[in-house]
Amino acid sequence: MLALPAAVFCQDFRAIDDAGHALRLPQAAQRIVSLAPNLAELVYAAGAGARLIGVGRFSDYPAAVQKLPVLGDAFALNLEAIAALKPDLVLLWQSGTPERQRDALRALAQRQGFAVFESEVRSVADIASTLERIGQLAGTQRSAQAAAGSLLRDWQALQTRYAQAKPVRVFYQVWDAPLMTFNGQHIISQAIRACGGVQGFDTMSALTPSISREAVLAFNPQLILAGGDGTASKELAAWRALPQIDAVQHQQLQAANAALLSRMGPRFVQAASALCQQIDATRSRW
């Protein structure tokens, strides 16, 4: 039996986005716009990178996206430039785009007849699901399913590897003034748990709650991670004056690859694996 080309593997070009909108295209999407860096990566991972014609600001991977027109960011979409490109599918970050911008884009979509897919990734399963749905709309379902399956297998393998590891108390500093961290629902917190890390603020209601230094002292982390620019020296400096914290005593103040961990794209498990190595190195000190 002859194998069907990936472009015609899925003849029913429909999907439901994360806002609950039912999308159905008359043919596979040929002109795709992504308005967030992770969405550009997901389009490529789904096998539809050649169809990408415009991106959001800060899209830098793979290298080919750096040659594409930049159509604004989550706070200021260039609707005129989007319209001029005549897309048939636009991928949008739901919670990262103000409602007014989303409404304006949808109004443009109604006038021009293109589809808008709102994405809201909160877990590795969501990354895989988004890959598959982009593949359904682009007619590259076979490539997208393969990428999604590989991602989920890698994630399961990472969780299995550290399932019996000795717990390490981890404090992840999102910002230093005001002092902020993640609750247990954030995808970076899911990575920390997969590595055998334990956080002290998982039950807080806000996704990125503000906390006091006293609360961190009471938690007494063994590892403090800062989501800085790679060195994180400024963000971590204040902790060095608190030697009663285990992480300070054992010199476990480190930078995390926040840019890749928070991107919520196909390289997330790769970034989580590097995070696990950091946590494992701290584990070896106790």
Domain for residue 121, yes or no? Answer: yes
Place of tokens 């498990």: 269
pLDDT tens digits, one per residue of 219-266: 999 999 998 654 567 778 899 999 999 999 999 999 999 889 999 999
Domain for residue 239, yes or no? Answer: yes
Given 128, 156, 184, which residue is the final one in a domain?
A: 156
Which of 171, 169, 170, 206 has its CA nearest to residue 186? 206
My answer on whether 100 and 224 are in the same domain is no
User: Domain residues for 173?
Assistant: 164-283
In DSSP notation, 213-254 reads HHHHHHH--SEEEE-SSSS-HHHHGGGGG-TTSHHHHTT-EE
Domain for residue 1, yes or no? Answer: no
My answer on whether 79 and 118 are in the same domain is yes
pTM, rounded to two decimals: 0.92
**How confident is the model over 195-213, as a mean pLDDT?**
96
My answer on whether 132 and 13 are in the same domain is yes
pLDDT tens digits, one per residue of 63-107: 999 999 999 987 899 999 999 999 999 999 999 999 999 999 999
Which of 118, 144, 120, 143 has its CA nearest to residue 131? 144
My answer on whether 230 and 104 are in the same domain is no
State how far the Cα of 68 lies from the Cα of 65, in Å rounded to an integer. 5
Given 124, 156, 188, which residue is the final one in a domain?
A: 156
Domain for residue 245, yes or no? Answer: yes
| Number of domains present in the structure of the chain | 2
Quick check: 10 pLDDT over 70?
Answer: no
In DSSP notation, 97-159 reads S-HHHHHHHHHHHHHHT-EEEEE---SHHHHHHHHHHHHHHHT-HHHHHHHHHHHHHHHHHHH
My answer on whether 180 and 128 are in the same domain is no
My answer on whether 123 and 240 are in the same domain is no
Domain for residue 3, yes or no? Answer: no
My answer on whether 151 and 170 are in the same domain is no
My answer on whether 136 and 55 are in the same domain is yes
My answer on whether 230 and 139 are in the same domain is no
**How confident is the model over 254-281, as a mean pLDDT?**
95
Place of tokens 């005593």: 249
